[in-house]
Structure formats: structure tokens, C-alpha cells
Amino acid sequence: MPRTQLQEKYFAPAKTENIKITPPAWQHPVYTEQQMNAIKVAHRETKTWSDWIAILMVRQLRWGMDIATGYSHPNDEARKQGSYLGLAKIRSWFGRSPMTERKWLMRFLFLESVAGVPGMVAGSVRHLHSLRRLRRDNGWIETLLEEAYNERMHLLTFMKMAEPGRFMKLMIIGAQGVYYNAFFISYLMSARTCHRFVGYLEEEAVLTYTLAIADIDAGKLPQWQKLEAPEIAVKYWNMPEGRRTMRDLLLYIRADEAKHREVNHTLGNLEQKVDPNPFVSEYEDPSRPHPSKGIENIKPTGWDRKEVI
Amino acid sequence: MPRTQLQEKYFAPAKTENIKITPPAWQHPVYTEQQMNAIKVAHRETKTWSDWIAILMVRQLRWGMDIATGYSHPNDEARKQGSYLGLAKIRSWFGRSPMTERKWLMRFLFLESVAGVPGMVAGSVRHLHSLRRLRRDNGWIETLLEEAYNERMHLLTFMKMAEPGRFMKLMIIGAQGVYYNAFFISYLMSARTCHRFVGYLEEEAVLTYTLAIADIDAGKLPQWQKLEAPEIAVKYWNMPEGRRTMRDLLLYIRADEAKHREVNHTLGNLEQKVDPNPFVSEYEDPSRPHPSKGIENIKPTGWDRKEVI
Ligand SMILES: [Fe+2]
Ligand SMILES: [Fe+2]
Ligand SMILES: [Fe+2]
Ligand SMILES: [Fe+2]
């Protein structure tokens, strides 16, 4: 289906007589090209039992998702990185066709449709908690909801480029039903483990987008060489003129994922009930590098509690 | 318990070495004194079956809450307004002691602890819907989450003034458990009816705060004559110097409730899946009065669909 028709089907607003435009809810912070190029694949070491539970959950999910989205490792390095637990072998039974533009897009779509869940759940639970216990939240909710919004913008951006098939749509619906409820209950049980889990999940997301960018650079995705980012993306990220290709778009999204990785690994280090949110706070000594909304001081494996509280 | 000790118990942040302050998430729009004084008790007529279901739910809830918070009508006019279905009579069995400062505060606390639920549920459901159906949301989520935040600020403000007893705390927890789940399921079934329900609920909220203000003016609440609004409120509403009394605070909160009344009655008039959110949109003809975030063009019974879309 051509892109214009897709727009009609998924994005057509009501025929409005009075309304001109409805702008996005949250302003995206500005990222420079240099900052985005500096984003690296990274891994935070597991230290506690809770960390182990989190990473095992991520591996299991990744395994399921790789099968669901027909993923095959685009290159040898990726194969090496993804071969813990011998999953590469199991996956090989399903055949190993190379990653095409469409396969990448379907993977992104699926990934982003579940990525929007944890922030909304965590924000809701903390909100309910504050109402019920009659205590302040210390600024966490804002960042969590903004994360959920950001993930949803990733999804809507990819939706401007391709429509998933029926099977994929069904899987997205099914995955949300399971994931939303499971994450809700898990967050009630151990919020810390859940933030660690998202931190590890975002490590995978940064890896995925890094490999896709490498595929573009290796000339393996010819349709994306000249592809312009859709208008929704240009507006949301405020993409400067001359830097609005598909590759640029993936750089922005990868940086967002790296930001979520930092935020969630940091939140996983904090006292959930009493610590303020370091990403929206003002600091005693503003001249020292400290967490913020942007990526100027980004720490791939998160900030330790004693560095920020 | 004196107010300073209350603060320690409910609001003490972690002992931070690095963090100075964590500012509120959403900026509150500016209300002028004139605008706030113009807020009136109002009632939108029931037109459809869905409207009837919504108002019956509200009446039932109000009945339960009046008993729970030991409410008695502060004056004859209120008694008249609240006497549908003969509830006043049933209530009289429970005795009718006059409303004291503490009874008002307990009523506000309970009211606000449930008032923060619908916006968060509606925002979550629309977010999940957008992820699952791969469609845009058209700007609703932002307003719904901001409403939830605003209600939570009402609650935290009242918490600065009085601590509820054990029984009340238990009721708050129990009410949330029932209400959150019931509202979630209801919103999945009929979002329209739910917005209408909140619209009618906010009619009651405006009435409640109007009566409390009248009680202050009638000299029935001597402890509030000179009471200053807590700092959290002064900051959040940006209350100007010289207008920071308890009465001023109730004027702000009543205006917020009137805003929710307008927003939810309007959203209840719209096509849930396709219409953009009139409260954050830009208009073809900005010179004509149109919905906004503030209360300069507030419509007590909401905007009709054809006026705004
Ligand atoms: Fe994402
Ligand atoms: Fe992410
Ligand atoms: Fe309220
Ligand atoms: Fe309200």
C-alpha cells in the first residue's frame, strides 16, 4: 500500500471545520549530531539477584521476539553478541533469510508497540500509590509518562512507512494484553526489578538500532539510502534541514533508547519511595555534570545513587 | 498532629546531598480572580440513555460518600439540591452534626483521592489503544493525564493541613481498589459514558467547594478565617501575594473542578476515535472564542461537537 493511502487509513483525522492542528504533547529535548553519534552499545553488569531476574526476562523476551519478527543476525558481530544460551542455533532452524527493509520495519513496529507499555504502567502505579498513601511522588511520574509518549511516537513514525500484515497485528494485540498485565503486577511486586528490566531491554534496543544503522552504511538496505523521514518525525524531533533521512531518524531513535536505558538503570538504583527523580531535579552544584532531560551527560549504565541523591 | 510534624511524616524527601528541589511536572495555567469568582454551579441536562447511566452512577457514589465522610448539608439550599431520591432522609438517620473544618477537610481528602483515578485510567487506555491499533491519539492523552496530576495536587495540598484517621485511610485504599478497576473496565466498554460520568461528578465537586466557600463567608469555619494556604499550593497555582488564604485556595480548586467539568462534558460529546482534542488544538479562526487550557472561555456544560470540531 503506498504511503499516502496508509496515511488515510491510520492517521486521517476527523473532518474538522474549526481545528487547524493538534501539536504533540511533550516537547522533545534537542540532540546534537555529535551527541547522537557518540551513543554506544553498552551493558551494565548484573550485581544482585534482582538484576539476574531482570536480564533473564529480557533474554527470554528477545528470543520470542526474534522468532516472531523473523529476525536473523545481520552480521557476524551481531551473531556473536546474540548467541548466549545457544539461541542462534535454535533460530537457525527457522531459516536465516537476510534482513530486508520490511523485516527491519516489522521488527521496529513490534518492538515499539510493547516499548510504550512500561512507562505508562510505572507512571500509573506511582500515581495510584501517591493517591492511596497520601504521599508525594517526588517527580518520577512525569519522566515515566514522557518515556511512554516517546515510545509511542517511535511507533507512529514507523507506521507512516509500512503497514504490518494481519498476523503481525494480531501478535501486537496479544502481546499487549499479556505484557500490560504482567508488567503491572510485576511493578506492584518489585518496581526496582522492573526498572532494571527496562534498562536491560533498552540495551537490546540500542543494539538493534545500531545494527540497522550499520546495515544502511554497508549498503544492504538500498530502499533506505534516499528515504526521507516522515513529517511527523521531522516535527517531533525538530530535525534540521539536510539531516532528515531514514539514517538520521534512526540516530534520533537510538539516542532516545539510550536515554531510556540510562533513566531506567538509574531509577533501578534508587530508593523507590523516598528518592526524588534525578532527571527533573535542580542540583546544589549545577556546574558539576548531573542527570538531565537531554543526552549531554548521558551515562550508558546509569548513575549510582550516591552520585545523584 | 501539628502541621510541621505532618510534613515530616508524609512529605519528607530522602536526605539529599546533591538535589536542591524537584519542581512540579505540569505548569498550572493562570486564573484571574475575576474568572474564578465567575465560576457557577451548573447542570447539563441528560439527553441520552448513556447520560442517564452516568448521572445515576454519580448519585449513587455521592450517597455512599456522604455517609463515609459524615457529610451533612451546610444550609437549606444545599439540602434542597441534594434531596433527590430522598437521600436526605436516609442520611438523617445517621445524625446531622454541622460541618466543621475537619469534616470538610476529610470530605475533600476522600473526594480528591478518587478524583485522580479517571484521568489516569482514560489516559492509559487511550495510550494502549493507540499502541495496539497503531493509530494516533489526536492529543487527548495529554489533557487527561494533566487532569489526573491536577487532582493529585489537590489531594497533596489538603494533606498538608490534616491527617485522616485510620478508618478514613482504610476507606481511601479500599475505594481506590474498587474504583480503579471498575473505571478501567467501564472505559473499555464506553469511553463516552465515562466522560459524561466525570462531567456530572465534577458538577458535584463544584457544588461542594461552592458550599464550603459559602460556609467560610457565613463565618461558620472560624479556623479558616486566617489560615494561609500551604507552600505547595502557593507554588503550584502561583498564588499572588495577599491572596493566599484558605478561601483563595478553594477558589482555585473550584475553578479547576469547573475546568474538568467542561473538559469531560465536551469529550463526552465527541467521536472518541477520530476527533482531535479541542483543548490543545489550534483553531482556523483564533479570534472566535474556543476551548483552551485556561478558563477564559469556560463553558459550564461543555462544548457541542459542531462548535469545536
Ligand atoms: Fe522506542
Ligand atoms: Fe525505549
Ligand atoms: Fe479535585
Ligand atoms: Fe475534578
Helix, strand, or coil (residue B207) = helix
Interchain pair A19, B276: CB under 8 A: yes
Spatial distance between the Cα atoms of B193 and B50, rounded to a whole number of angstroms: 5
| Alpha-carbon distance B186 to nearest alpha carbon in chain A (angstroms) | 17
How many interface pairs between A and B have CB atoms less than 8 angstroms apart? 188
User: In this predicted model, which residue has the larger pLDDT, A62 or B255?
Assistant: B255
Helix axes A49-68, A191-217, angle to 10 degrees: 40
User: Taking the C-alpha atoms of B288, B294, B295 and B299 in order, what is their torsion angle to the nearest 10 degrees?
Assistant: 60
What percent of chain B shows pLDDT beyond 90? 67
pLDDT at A282 over 90: no
Of B116, B145, B164, nearest to A145 by CB-CB distance is B145
Per DSSP, helices labelled H in B93-220 are: 101-133, 140-159, 166-189, 191-217
ipTM above 0.85, yes or no: yes
Contacts of B278 in chain A (CB under 8 A): 19
pLDDT, one tens digit per residue, over A42-68 is 999 999 999 999 999 999 888 877 776
Q: How many residues does chain B have?
A: 309
What value does the mean pLDDT take over residues A18-36? 86
Nearest to A44 by CA among A195, A261, A209, A260: A261
Query: Is B202 part of any known ligand binding site?
Result: yes
Asked whether the beta carbons of A72 and A99 are under 8 A apart, the reply is yes
Cα angle value B247/B248/B253 (rounded, 5°)? 95
The mean pLDDT value for A213-242 works out to 93
Ligand 4 center to B148 CA (angstroms) = 8
- Residue A121, min C-alpha distance to chain B (Å): 8
Q: What is the pLDDT of residues B42-56, one digit of tens each?
A: 999 999 999 999 999
Task: Place B87 in a pLDDT band, splitting at 50, 70 and 90.
Answer: very low
Instruction: Encode pLDDT of B23-73 as tens digits.
Output: 777 889 999 999 999 999 999 999 999 999 999 999 988 887 777 666 666
pTM score, two decimals?
0.90
Q: Enter the C-alpha cell of residue A227.
A: 528515504
Angle at A270 between CA A268 and CA A274, to 5 degrees: 135
Ligand 2 centroid to A115 CA: how many Å? Answer: 6
> What's the pLDDT at B286?
85
* B102-106: average pLDDT: 88
Summary mean pLDDT of chain A: 87
Q: Is B307 one of the annotated binding-site residues? A: no
Answer whether B131 sits within 8 Å of A109, measured CB to CB: no
Mean pLDDT of B266-290: 91
Distance B256 CA to ligand 3 centre (A): 7
Q: Which residues of B touch A135 (CB under 8 A)?
A: 10-11
For residue A6, is pLDDT > 70? no
CB contact under 8 A, B113 and A135: no
- Residues A70-89, mean pLDDT to the nearest whole number: 53
pLDDT band, very low/low/confident/very high, at B96 (cuts 50, 70, 90):
low
Residues of B in contact with A307 (CB under 8 A): 18
**Considering only A14-23, B59-68, B252-261, which range has the smallest mean pLDDT?**
A14-23
Farthest-apart Cα atoms in chain B, separation: 58
The DSSP annotation for chain A comes to --HHHHHHHHHPPP--SSEEE---SSPPPP--HHHHHT-----PPP-SHHHHHHHHHHHHHHHHHHHHTT---SSHHHHHHT-GGGHHHHHHTT--PPP-HHHHHHHHHHHHHHHTHHHHHHHHHHHHHHHHHT---TTHHHHHHHHHHHHHHHHHHHHTT----HHHHHHHHHHHHHHHHHHHHHHHH-HHHHHHHHHHHHHHHHHHHHHHHHHHHTT--GGGSSPBPPHHHHHHHTPPTT--BHHHHHHHHHHHHHHHHHHHHHHTTS-TTT---TTS-EESSTTS----SSSTT--TT---HHHH-
pLDDT digit string, tens, across residues A269-278? 999 999 999 9
Q: What are the tens digits of pLDDT across the range A156-200?
A: 999 999 888 888 899 899 999 999 999 999 999 999 999 999 999
Query: What is the rounded average pLDDT of the residues A209-216?
Result: 93
* Cβ–Cβ gap A127/B109 under 8 Å: no
Q: How far is CA A134 from CA A54, A164, B159, B172, B191, in A?
A: 30, 44, 7, 9, 28
**The pLDDT value given to residue B84:** 39
Q: How confident is the model at residue A24 (pLDDT cuts 50, 70, 90)?
A: confident
Q: Which three cell numbers stand for residue A212?
A: 540497522
